[in-house]
């Protein structure tokens, strides 16, 4: 079964290559590009761009979702505009063993952490954070990251400039689990 980024498995499909990757035709690629640029585009607007009916576009989008090519639709937020002007990357060394998954779960529960990656090299994990200021960074690192079971050491890098949009990031006060 094909592996999906969300950890699930989709149906085996004739458009899978030998590595389990979905092969997109030119129209699917164009639809994905259009939705990547603006996830709010209607099927009618996409249909005009690709020369298909809105119904055919909707079917293709549904198929792309089922195959795991499209895994969600997101609002891109500018952290700096909301007062989160410090971007930090934290390399984390861990105790080797079965605690890694628990550490990832604990780290992703910290609202200031936008993403956690398992990496090779000097660090075992890389966490991407958005914070209000350096005092906020100090608080998150010392009071939220240090106490996690399996934590050994870390190195914090502060970004001087971020050039790409920040997809999927939410400030702590706007995370789904904190909005009632």
What pLDDT score was predicted for residue 168? 64
What pLDDT score was predicted for residue 73? 87
The CATH number of residue 65's host domain is 1.10.10.10
pTM score: 0.71
> Is there a domain that residue 28 lies in?
yes
What pLDDT score was predicted for residue 163? 80
What pLDDT score was predicted for residue 180? 45
95 shares a domain with 58: no
140 shares a domain with 63: no
Q: How many domains does the chain have?
A: 2
106 shares a domain with 66: no
136 shares a domain with 107: yes
110 shares a domain with 56: no
> Is there a domain that residue 179 lies in?
no
Domain of residue 129: give its range.
Answer: 86-171
> Is there a domain that residue 17 lies in?
yes
What pLDDT score was predicted for residue 8? 42
What pLDDT score was predicted for residue 166? 66
The secondary structure of the chain, three-state, reads CCECCCCCECCCCCCECCCCCECCCHHHHHHHHHHHHCCCCCHHHHHHHHCCCHHHHHHHHHHHHHCCCCCCCCCECCCCCCCCCEEEEEEEEECCCCCHHHHHHHHHCCCCEEEEEECCCCCCEEEEEEECCHHHHHHHHHHHHCCCCCEEEEEEEECCCCCCCCECCCCHHHCHHHCC
116 shares a domain with 69: no
58 shares a domain with 98: no
Chunk the chain into consecutive blocks of 10 residues (it has 180) and report each block's average pLDDT, rounded to whole numbers: 38 51 90 91 97 97 94 86 95 92 96 95 96 98 98 97 72 59
What pLDDT score was predicted for residue 58? 97
91 shares a domain with 53: no
92 shares a domain with 68: no
> Is there a domain that residue 177 lies in?
no
């Amino acid at each position: 079964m094909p592996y999906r980024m969300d950890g699930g498995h989709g149906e085996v499909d004739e458009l899978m290559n030998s590595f389990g990757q979905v092969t997109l035709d030119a129209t699917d690629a164009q639809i994905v590009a259009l939705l990547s640029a603006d996830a709010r585009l209607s099927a009618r607007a996409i249909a005009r761009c690709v020369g298909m009916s809105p119904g055919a576009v909707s079917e293709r989008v549904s198929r792309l979702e089922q195959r795991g090519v499209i895994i969600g639709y997101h609002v891109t937020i500018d952290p700096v505009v909301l007062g989160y002007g410090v971007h930090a990357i934290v390399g984390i060394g861990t105790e080797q063993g079965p605690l890694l998954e628990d550490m990832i779960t604990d780290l992703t529960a910290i609202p200031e952490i936008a993403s956690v990656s398992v990496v090779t090299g000097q660090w075992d994990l890389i966490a991407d954070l958005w914070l209000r200021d350096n005092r906020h960074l100090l608080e998150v690192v010392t009071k939220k990251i240090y106490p996690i079971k399996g934590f050994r050491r870390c190195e914090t890098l502060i970004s001087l400039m971020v050039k790409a949009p920040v997809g999927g990031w939410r400030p702590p006060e706007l995370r789904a689990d904190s909005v009632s």
